[in-house]
């Protein structure tokens, strides 16, 4: 299984930028795809972005499209979520997750990092 550790969350103001990082370890990651999920206060967890380990395939939720960018650094076993033009509704706990490319379910999850956006 893949182990994931997120970092980079914090308190920011609307309009700011923030980069979340996810350190991956434990497996050969070529067979995995990565996702960034968000759980906002009072809401269900949603997937905001996904990326193949090669970085060639990405997905973004409509709520973040054009503002968030996911990327990978294969040499460092890192996954990133660049968040630009942050909005108060981006507030939440952000999780990095991994799934085998042959599966739909994400099997590995990080502990999460909190992002709070003030208006």
What end-to-end distance do the CA atoms of the chain give, in Å? Answer: 39
Amino acid 28: pLDDT:
75
Amino acid 88: pLDDT:
96
Within the chain, which residues score under 70 in pLDDT? Answer: none
User: Can you tell me the distance from the alpha carbon of 59 to that of 46, in angstroms, rounded to the nearest whole number?
Assistant: 13
Amino acid 1: pLDDT:
80
Is there a contact between 95 and 37 (Cβ–Cβ < 8 Å)?
Answer: yes
Q: Is 31 helix (H, G, I), strand (E, B) or coil?
A: helix
Amino acid 14: pLDDT:
98
Amino acid 30: pLDDT:
81
């Amino acid at each position: 299984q893949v182990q994931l550790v997120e970092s980079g969350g914090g308190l920011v103001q609307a309009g700011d930028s923030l980069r979340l990082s996810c350190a991956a370890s434990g497996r050969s990651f070529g067979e995995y795809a990565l996702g960034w999920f968000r759980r906002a206060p009072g809401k269900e967890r949603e997937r905001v972005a996904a990326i193949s380990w090669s970085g060639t395939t990405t997905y973004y939720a409509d709520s973040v499209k054009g503002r968030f960018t996911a990327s990978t650094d294969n040499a460092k076993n890192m996954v990133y979520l660049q968040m630009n033009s942050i909005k108060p509704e981006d507030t939440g706990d952000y999780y990095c997750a991994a799934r085998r490319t042959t599966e739909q379910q994400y099997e590995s999850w990080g502990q999460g990092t909190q992002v709070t956006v003030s208006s």
